[in-house]
Amino acid sequence: MSGKKEEAAFSILRVYDEPEPRRYEQESSQHRLQVQPQPDGACGSPQRPPGSREESPEESPVYQEMSTLTPQQWALRALDRSELQASWFSEGRPREEAAFASRLLGFDFGLPSPPPPPPSDKVWPFCRAVPPVGGDTVVRPGIPHKSWKVGKLCHGKKVCAIAISTSTHHVYTCGHGYIRVWDEGALHTWSKAPQAQLNFQDRHNCVLSCKLFPDEQSLITGGVSQTLTLWDLAPTARIRAQLASAGPICYSLAISSNAQICLACFKGFIEIWDLQRQILIRKHRVSEFGSRCVDLTGNKFWTGGEDTSLCAWDLRSCLKLQQYNVHHEILSITHDPSEEWLLVGLRTSDIIILHTHRKEAFRAVIHKYVHRHNLKFAPSGGYFVATMDESVHCLSAPYLQKLFQEEESTEVLCCDVSSDNKYLVTGSKNCASVYQLLC
């Protein structure tokens, strides 16, 4: 399937949590969806034809399928259609499909939606067999329900990239000419000076992207420069090495979970680096307008940009594995901590949710054209932040429930979430805003 575009349609995931089946009806210009509830038997299960043998739950294909699911897969199979919607990744009729999907689900960060449809006759007995769980029994730690703006970091110039290290208890704001280092005490102030400033040798250099290593004690930066810079952050920030790159501008960086591989995204090509030996492994050519952003999940890496194509590549052979036409410019790509799910931010503010191994893909439709669209998964995996121009949205994962929203006075250029779920920091025109997350 090398280089082949995905043309398949992906089903809508639903949650069957209604106490009684309900009738669901929805119309569109080309479709009419009508589901009738199944009549219940004397004991609350669907009636069966006379003489048929009752199938045990263990023999049911539904049970066999569900019993093999991981917790993340369980959660995503429990999504409400009012919160997440499937989308056709095909060449034809993007406007009609988007309009139909928007009407079908009413997804606009909290708009009311039609009730979910009833389960099928195969799934309903399984759902009835699951014992009820008290509401106070389900606990989701580390999910913020509110934010509180507690401080401002005066960077002095555009903040193009941010990193929060809970290991060193510092925030690093990056931009033109320098990186500023802020200690934890500065987060709750509005005009405190930085603890340190790391000046570049060439004052015209600018950091556009930065990635923390998993131990949060090292950082790699790239941007308007002929080099990628490796930083040791502890005990004090200092340059460890500089990697000479072939491109003048690095737009995006991705780092593997074991901190051995780094991908740097340039116009028309991707550089693959061995961080341990500090050598360039490969320079991989991609579409000139398809290399705005890059991400890495396991043995796959993903690219996207102005050409509206999301491509998956094999990390070892660099062969193209998949290609999705998402019909709009791709502005950001990020993955969840498990590396099973990928988020793709589009120019229209839509968010593509894609499984990295299975053919499962969904589209959260928002329909608002933006200049900036950043996505950042919380290290806990329970929620993610989506910034769209001046707006900051925090959404639970995988349910896409809106947790809170903030509005900035200028465009948000970048954001990061601390690994202890305490802080969200956003970068904008000449400063960074600090939000304390209330869980």
pLDDT tops 70 at residue 20: no
Tally: H helices and E strands in the chain: 4, 30
Write the DSSP assignment of 215-267 as a string of letters: TSSEEEEEEESSEEEEEE-SSS-EEEEEEE-SSSB--EEEE-TTS-EEEEEET
**Count of alpha carbons within 13 Å of 283, Cβ hemisphere only?**
8
How much is the pLDDT for 287?
92
How much is the pLDDT for 192?
95
CATH no. for 146-438: 2.130.10.10
Each residue of 57-86: pLDDT tens digit?
445 444 454 444 444 444 444 443 333 343
Each residue of 194-232: pLDDT tens digit?
999 999 988 899 999 999 999 999 999 999 999 999 999
Q: Count of CB atoms within 10 A of residue 287's CB?
A: 16
How much is the pLDDT for 12?
36
pLDDT tops 80 at residue 281: yes
Each residue of 241-275: pLDDT tens digit?
999 999 999 999 999 999 999 999 999 999 999 99
How much is the pLDDT for 364?
86
- In whole angstroms, what is the distance from residue 163 CA to residue 427 CA? 10
Q: Write down the domain spans for the chain.
A: 24-34+53-129, 146-438
Gyration radius of the chain over CA positions: 24
Model confidence, pTM? 0.73
Beta-strand (E) ranges in 62-165?
Answer: 146-153, 161-165
Residue bearing the bigger pLDDT, 346 or 124: 346
Q: How confident is the model at residue 6 (pLDDT cuts 50, 70, 90)?
A: low
Which of 403, 404, 396, 402 is CA-nearest to residue 76? 396
Dihedral of CA atoms 193, 194, 200, 206 in degrees, nearest 10, equals -90
How much is the pLDDT for 434?
98
> What does the pLDDT average to over 409-421?
95
% pLDDT > 70, the chain: 68
Residue type, 29: S
Q: Cα dist. 215→118, 212, 218 in Å?
A: 46, 8, 7
How much is the pLDDT for 117?
58
